[in-house]
Chains A and B, each alone.
Chain A
Amino acid sequence: MSNRKNSLPGLYIHIPFCKSKCLYCDFYSLTDLSLLPAWLEALQQEVLLYKDTFAPFDSLYLGGGTPSLLDGFQLAAMLDSLRRHFSFYPDTEITLEANPDDVTREKLHLWRDLGVNRLSMGVQSFAEPDLIFLGRRHTARQTEQALEWVRIAGFTNLGVDLIYGLPGQSAGDWRKNLERALEFRPEHLSCYQLTLETGTPLGARKAQGRIKPLPEEAERELFLLTSRFLEEHGYIHYEISNFARGEAYYSRNNRKYWRHVPYLGLGPAAHSFQGGKRWWNHRSLDRYCQALSDGVAPVAGRETLSAGQLHLESLYLGLRTKEGVDLNLIRPQPRGDTMLGELQEAGLIKLHHGRAALTREGFLVADRLPLWFSD
């Protein structure tokens, strides 16, 4: 990949609406679609506030929420405004997150016409009972139909999101899901292990003891299976939960998050990062709209990262990726070399070309490793 693409900023738009809430979801989104026009209005204002403050973007990500529920007119107006007030490189990766139940042939063509060149499909599972457990709005049948249409409509960069590690899920169940997904030859796969977050209906059920999370050993097995299976089928395991059929298909947007490349996030609850500063918007549509109608940025908080904080984040984020981290981030730390030795011996880390990267086993304990290299 060229250096240019490694450092160009990205733009993220958070579309905070869903037709209904999935039972595991802790993203910020509302189900009262009547608020949509007001939000679009406010977004216009926010765009104006950040006009000219970022270098040209090479990626635009429409996430949410459910961006696929926007109608043609709304989406067109939004993209038009973004293009007028920001500049984009010609080969900008434009991703739209879509839910299978929203996908129609017409919409697909519209998205193509509007310049969307990457679709990220919220598939989650091909098994009907899983979809019900997760509270998804679509059936497996709908998903398959949608994925076929995506290809017919000419999308050549398709991402599929899957969730695994559901209570009671066996390795066989999960492998079947993966196989079904591979039938559509997605360029990208995100396989997220289900987390039963507090504050979600599934989290509450867990707290009440009504559902039991998978035991640690089973979770490990599923993770390792995913990695092995997908690598056998030609995917690169380039981040803990992400796989791509070639470097060209790494998600540009996500990689900016992981590498401290600047990005601008618009919409409620969106985060932005630029010049060592991070800021985040109100996680409330009301407050978001109020701020913008008052003519101020809808920012709920900001932080300026110290060198130490940047270091810690680089370690954390870097160790989650296949590329790993530069050894210069580790070596100078008080016990850096001792720890590297221990972790290599334990088969959790490997050194290659002056970088340290986690092994598959290492990925499994990635959260606690940065601490060892940071004092």
Chain B
Amino acid sequence: MSQIRNFSIIAHIDHGKSTLADRLIQYTGMVEERQFRDQILDTMDLERERGITIKSNTITLPYLAQDGQEYELNLIDTPGHVDFTYEVSRALASCEGVLLLVDASQGVEAQTLANLYLAMEHNLTIIPVINKIDLPQADVEGVKEQIDHDLGLNAREAILCSAKEGIGIDAVLEAIVAKIPPPRGSVDKPLSALIFDATYDSFRGAVISCRVFDGAVQPGDIIRLMYNNAAYKVEEVGIFWLNRQPQKVLSAGMVGYIIAGIKTVSDTRIGDTITLEDRPAPQPLPGFKEVKPVVFASIYPVSADDYQTLVEALEKYKLNDAALTYQKDSSAALGQGFRCGFLGLLHLEIVQERLEREFGQSLIMTVPGVRYEFVLKNGQTLTVDNPQHYPDPIHIQTGREPFIKAAILLPERYLGAVLKLCLERRGVNSHISYPTAGRVEVTFEMPLAEVIIDFYDRLKTITQGYGSFDYDLLDYRDSHLVKLDIMVNGEKVDALSMIVHQDRARQWAVRVCERLKNEIPRQQFKIAIQGAVGGQIISRETISAFRKDVTAKCYGGDITRKRKLLEKQRAGKKRMKMVGAVMIPQAAFVAVLKTVKE
């Protein structure tokens, strides 16, 4: 056990976490250069493209240290986004130390801080690493200063490296061995292992990634997942190299995987404790939380004919993503679909892209919302995550919506613009502090609904990329919520309804109507587009009627040509949605969603 080191790399997006991980893998000789490109860099397209990991990739690196000893370094990669804070916390709980990676040209960012706090909560050894020292604009001294002041860490211990150029990699490895303590725990105690991830293998079912704290587990054992209270027979245990590497046993201190005939990843829960059926641990490991979705949106197939394909795509996707929830939903305009729950907006986008990309599905996604609460006059409390379930206003006593605490770190010169943004988004109880000269940390309490729609993008824009953002859910607060309906020729387009704060209703209504006006083609009658709250019209646009569309001649030959054109248009119409007698192109729904994001 003294030869094992369990660690993670924590960093703000783009500070070089993946690059450093790849370097470490390469340095320890796990793979040759060529294989390295093919095997590592090309997996997980989507994450590579977005520079975000959503699944923890774990790898065991054999390392011959300068002291002449062989070590097993377990690198537990963590998802790098606020949507996945809980997953990060479980990965960190599986480590004894972290590399805190800071970009020498960017300095400390909001996520650096958030992750650092998480690491501190777990009493981990923190090794500051300053990356990208090869860049001409690298400001190593400045970053050291921040590490001292902002982070309260010892900057003299910071390791300088360039993951890209391969500079300082050996120093990083040596520091891992020297500074991070070996795992403690006892092989003789009852098994207690922490699940920090699970992936789906089409032949083997769920593959659990776990950290063994005490005891040992081997094929043939009957394990029990303590929270789920379910027992399985272990088929295989092993560690991760580039591929799974079966082992005879996983014992205290080790990080590896368990395959136990568990059908899907949804049968496992991140943070749950694995123990042995016949010799259980006295209590589960601390910190378990049931992850709950916070962002909700409905998805519909573009063509109703594709509903069944969507069902299958979702089922398949769900095999590998326990955090996604979904249930049947239906809309008069869009037909059959699903109401989905996501951990956050990024999670939503990832699911959408995955479905579209991997399953060839074109989707219409409704405007995302949060889960609201309505206290009714009869004392009952209703939770509503779908505008279609908005209660009759006469029964509502009060509405409540989830609030978050947003922490934003930014260069001082953007402070005014950021404060304005936060106030627009109904931010309250602001707090401003100056951790270092020129940099400001702003915290706000804000409705979650206001940040799930494009807040982060706007923040990036107004701070020219220098602002960073992190949040925690706080509580539910009273809020004057109304339901905004969009009507086309007097018919409600249910898929475009949303629950909004009263003060924001008109603004949304105007924008959505404007956008629809641009997206709905003229038809043979006038089309009125209206935004309404409780029957009162608060915005209105009109699309004038189509005035002329007729072919002058139609001879023998023209008939086939014309019919083909009609057939093509009809196929296009299939992709349109009918609201009353008005055809609304799919693009209009997409555009409205975009509008909301602008």
Interface residues of A (CB under 8 A from B): 12, 192-195, 216-217, 219-220, 223, 240-241, 254, 257-258, 263, 265, 269-273, 278, 280, 303, 309, 312-313, 316-317, 320, 335, 338-339, 341-343, 345-346, 348, 363-372, 374-375
B553: A residues at CB distance < 8 A = 192, 195, 241
Complex formed: what's the CA distance from A367 to B554 in Å? 11
Q: Whose C-beta in chain B lies nearest to the C-beta of A366?
A: B550
Given A316-B562, A346-B524, decide whether A193 and B557 contact each other with a Cβ distance below 8 A.
Answer: no
Complex formed: what's the CA distance from A296 to B525 in Å? 51
The CB with the most chain A CB atoms within 10 A, among B547, B555, B578, is that of B555
A257: B residues at CB distance < 8 A = 554-556, 559
Is B524 a contact partner of A216 (Cβ separation < 8 A)?
A: no
Q: Mark B552-572, 1 if CB is under 8 A from A, else 0.
A: 111111011011001101100
B562: A residues at CB distance < 8 A = 316, 367
Of the candidates A193, A241, A303, A342, the one whose C-beta lies within 8 Å of that of B560 is A303
The count of residues in chain B whose C-beta lies closer than 8 Å to any C-beta of chain A is 28
Of the candidates B547, B550, B559, B580, the one whose C-beta lies within 8 Å of that of A363 is B550
Is B545 interfacial (CB-CB < 8 Å)?
yes
Main SS at interface, chain A:
mixed
Q: List residues of B (310-351) whose CB comes within 8 Å of A's CBs.
A: none
Q: Whose C-beta in chain A lies nearest to the C-beta of B565?
A: A367
A343: B residues at CB distance < 8 A = 524-525
B389: A residues at CB distance < 8 A = none
Complex formed: what's the CA distance from A348 to B545 in Å? 12
B550: A residues at CB distance < 8 A = 193, 223, 240, 363-367
Given A220-B547, A309-B563, A365-B524, decide whether A342 and B581 contact each other with a Cβ distance below 8 A.
Answer: yes
Given A346-B545, A363-B550, A365-B550, decide whether A371 and B556 contact each other with a Cβ distance below 8 A.
Answer: no
Given A316-B566, A369-B524, decide whether A195 and B552 contact each other with a Cβ distance below 8 A.
Answer: yes
Output the least CB separation between A160 and chain B (Å).
15
Complex formed: what's the CA distance from A371 to B567 in Å? 9
A240: B residues at CB distance < 8 A = 550, 552, 554
Q: How many A-B residue pairs have CB under 8 A?
A: 111
Output the least CB separation between B542 and chain A (Å).
14
Q: List residues of B (469-523) whose CB comes within 8 Å of A's CBs.
A: 523
A365: B residues at CB distance < 8 A = 524, 546-550
A312: B residues at CB distance < 8 A = 563, 566-567, 570
- Please provide the 7 A-B residue pairs with the shortest distance between their CB atoms, ordered closest to farther: A271-B556, A342-B581, A346-B525, A192-B552, A193-B552, A271-B557, A367-B549
Q: Whose C-beta in chain A lies nearest to the C-beta of B576?
A: A371
Output the least CB separation between A264 and chain B (Å).
10
A364: B residues at CB distance < 8 A = 547-550
Q: Whose C-beta in chain B lies nearest to the C-beta of A320?
A: B554
Given contacts A240-B554, A313-B559, 4 further A-B contacts (CB under 8 A): A269-B557, A335-B581, A339-B581, A374-B566
Interface CB pairs A-B, < 8 A, 22: A12-B556, A193-B550, A195-B552, A216-B547, A220-B548, A223-B550, A240-B550, A254-B555, A258-B554, A271-B560, A273-B556, A280-B560, A313-B559, A313-B563, A316-B562, A317-B559, A364-B547, A364-B548, A365-B546, A365-B550, A367-B551, A371-B569
Q: List residues of B (43-64) whose CB comes within 8 Å of A's CBs.
A: none
Q: Whose C-beta in chain B lies nearest to the C-beta of A338?
A: B581
Complex formed: what's the CA distance from A219 to B547 in Å? 10
A241: B residues at CB distance < 8 A = 552-553
Output the least CB separation between B115 and chain A (Å).
54
Q: List residues of B (98-129) whose CB comes within 8 Å of A's CBs.
A: none
A375: B residues at CB distance < 8 A = 570
Is B573 interfacial (CB-CB < 8 Å)?
yes
Complex formed: what's the CA distance from A368 to B546 in Å? 10
Output the least CB separation between B22 and chain A (Å).
53
A338: B residues at CB distance < 8 A = 580-581
